Amino acid sequence: MTQAVKNVGIILKPRAVHDFLTILPNLTEWLKRRKVEVFFPVEETERLHKIYQTTKLKFNIIPKVDMHTQCDLLITLGGDGTLIGVARTSKKASPPIFGINMGNLGFITEFSKHEFHDDLAQVLKGKYTIHNVPLYKAEIIENEKTVRSGYFINDAVISKSGISRMFTVALETEDENIYNLAGDGLIVSSPIGSTAYSLAAGGPIVHPRVKGIILNPICPHALTHRPLVLPENETIYIKLPKGESELFLTLDGQEAITVLKNQRVKISKPSRKHVSLIINENKEYFRTLKDKFRHGRR
């Protein structure tokens, strides 16, 4: 990229105040010295007054939905969940996202809160590389019509609410039955989400540049129901057999949708729906696996 950044939107980790008392004023002042306009969602006005401890805020306050159209760059301050929350609402013309991790180095948030200024300075000059991460679409189908839909980056999870108990669903592609699954649930995971819930449930680690989608049963009743990796362009249908009551579809752990017994779930990857994440050139994928999971260490 070569276009300089003039307008920057900042998205904060939900509810936190103390974590931002130092880093946020320093960051906004740093941006203003570089003649960059700073934008915050109007929904954050009350929290910003607590952080800046003033009744007069010296930056732009706009509706959150307009952050995608009025900014050249979005900065997230939080963790992977904060970045995912922004990415799931991205539009076709949304700006790239610069993720700053407020805790330990994350998988999707590429930059540490302790050392991001040099990288951000280069980004403001238009010198950066992006990774286009696909968004997957989940639709609730009833009588062959979509009654509700949403997007996910990491995973879509089918489960029961309340007390954990076994249930049955049928998994199908456009052309054939995959298998009928009896168990505690099902995780449909993207490659970038393979190190999240799916990994905890015994799924494989899949490199984020692999073009595939993972079906991972949660505590399957039959030992023959193992995780599967399918092509990313495969459309997957999840149906409730007769006798099953409602289930729940959870997208990235942030949105829950009730699935009734006369409905089915369709999961697909739209050809042009993605989010652009700015890459940390100094961050290595397998090094991150070693640091977070001690993966591959003896």
Q: Please, are residues 170 and 236 in contact by the beta-carbon 8 Å criterion?
A: no
pLDDT value of residue 30: 97
Same domain, 186 and 110: no
First to last CA, the chain: 40
Placement of tokens 């950066």 in the chain: 128
HSE, side-chain direction, 13 A CA sphere, residue 69: 6
CA pair distance 108, 127, nearest whole angstrom: 20
pLDDT value of residue 296: 55
Same domain, 66 and 180: no
Whole-prediction pTM: 0.90
Per-residue pLDDT tens for 44-93?
A: 999 999 999 887 888 999 999 899 999 999 999 999 999 999 999 888 78
- Both tokens of 32, joined, read 């203003």
Number of folded domains that form the chain: 2
Q: What's the chain look like in SS3?
A: CCCCCCEEEEEECCCCCHHHCCHHHHHHHHHHHCCCEEEEEHHHHHHHHHHHCCCCCCCEEECHHHHHHHCCEEEEEECHHHHHHHHCCCCCCCCCEEEEECCCCCCCCCEECCCCHHHHHHHHCCCCCEEEEECEEEEEEECCEEEEEEEECCEEEEECCCCCCCEEEEEECCCCEEEEEEECEEEEECCCCCCCHHHHCCCCCCCCCCCEEEEEEECCCCCCCCCEEEECCCCEEEECCCCCCCEEEEECCCEEEEECCCCEEEEECCCCCEEEEECCCCCCHHHHHHHHHCCCCC
Report the CATH number that the domain containing residue 244 is assigned in CATH: 2.60.200.30
1 in a structural domain: no
pLDDT value of residue 163: 61
Same domain, 65 and 178: no
2 in a structural domain: no
CA pair distance 57, 13, nearest whole angstrom: 19
Same domain, 176 and 140: yes
Same domain, 152 and 121: no
The stretches in the chain having pLDDT less than 70 are 1-2, 104-106, 162-164, 294-298
CA pair distance 179, 9, nearest whole angstrom: 45
pLDDT value of residue 224: 78
pLDDT value of residue 56: 83
Burial of 84: CB neighbours in 10 Å, binned 0-12, 13-18, 19+: buried
Same domain, 143 and 255: yes
Same domain, 12 and 121: yes
Instruction: Count other C-beta atoms under 10 Å from residue 241's C-beta.
Output: 12
122: left (phi over 0), alpha (psi -120 to 50) or beta: alpha
Does the annotation count 184 as an active-site position? no
Please tell me which residue in 19, 72, 80, 184 is annotated as part of the active site: 80
Same domain, 258 and 154: yes
Same domain, 144 and 224: yes
Same domain, 189 and 105: no
pLDDT value of residue 164: 63
pLDDT value of residue 57: 86
CA pair distance 62, 44, nearest whole angstrom: 10
49: containing domain: 7-134+273-293
